[in-house]
Structure 1
Amino acid sequence: MAAMQHHISQQRRSTCCSATPLKQQRCEPCEEAKREAEYMGLHPMVMDMQTAEKYREQVDPRWQIVEDSEKRLRLRRVMRTKNFTKALELFQRVGQVAEAEGHHPDLHLEGWNNVSIELWTHARNGLSENDFIVAAKFDDIDMADLLSKKQPEL
């Protein structure tokens, strides 16, 4: 079984630097993959930090890999909008892309204009390729009219 998990892990790593840019790829349903892995007696695979860093090189550098309180990896981007209404509009634009991909982020609005987007694959309880595909698509959203000139430090 360990050999099979290693083989699956190697297959996933080999797709990391695919010739097809992430923003041109589509998210794959994770629930189905999770059921298949469990049926085969495997635990659903999540990315380790090394693999996640390779994927992060393919998205805007403002995306950061963070750990939650249970040491699970998340992909996070923090922004400051011009005002409260612009923050809500940013969520609407992000939501349209997320809905089209069937992969939904956690969206946070703190204060009146501090926004954070957090991606992780709930079905796998960590990061998957889908998170980076969606991040790359979010990077293509025109937000210039929504964002404040003063952005948070990285």
Structure 2
Amino acid sequence: MKIVIMRHGEAETFANSDAERALTSFGRSASRDVAQRCRQQGMSQFDKVLVSPYLRAQQTWQELEDIFDAKDVVECEDITPYGDSATVADYLQALIELEKPESVLLVSHLPLVGYLTADLVVDIVPPMFPTSGMICIDYDVQNQRGEVLWNLKP
């Protein structure tokens, strides 16, 4: 199965709170560009999409939702910037075993996206995701280990 992890697009520096930081116009366009290139890699449909409740992640998904066909989109409180990657990896494993999706997309934040990638792919240093960065992991559910297929940057 495929797990695609994306960091939200570029966001404004200041807001009333970190959760309320909105995307910049560059963040919106870069996210769309990366999503189009994801489609060119053969990923156009997701059985499950998990999106952080933070505004910049929600807005990133809004830019992507007309590019991808998503069967089920869920706001996920666990994938905020300081979510626990091991907990999210366990959640993903349970979701995969229960729902048996062929593809999952997560729209989240640093540092979680890097640590989660390292939890899913054996012997990899947590990668530094640029804003709008996206990585695709071919995940072996039975062995609970993945391999990076591709990595897109704006």
TM over 0.5: no
Calculate the TM-score normalised by the size of structure 1.
0.27
**Which one has a bigger Cα radius of gyration?**
1
> Which structure is richer in relative contact order (CA contacts within 8 A, separation 6 or more)?
2
Calculate the TM-score normalised by the size of structure 2.
0.27
Point out the structure with the larger strand share. Answer: 2
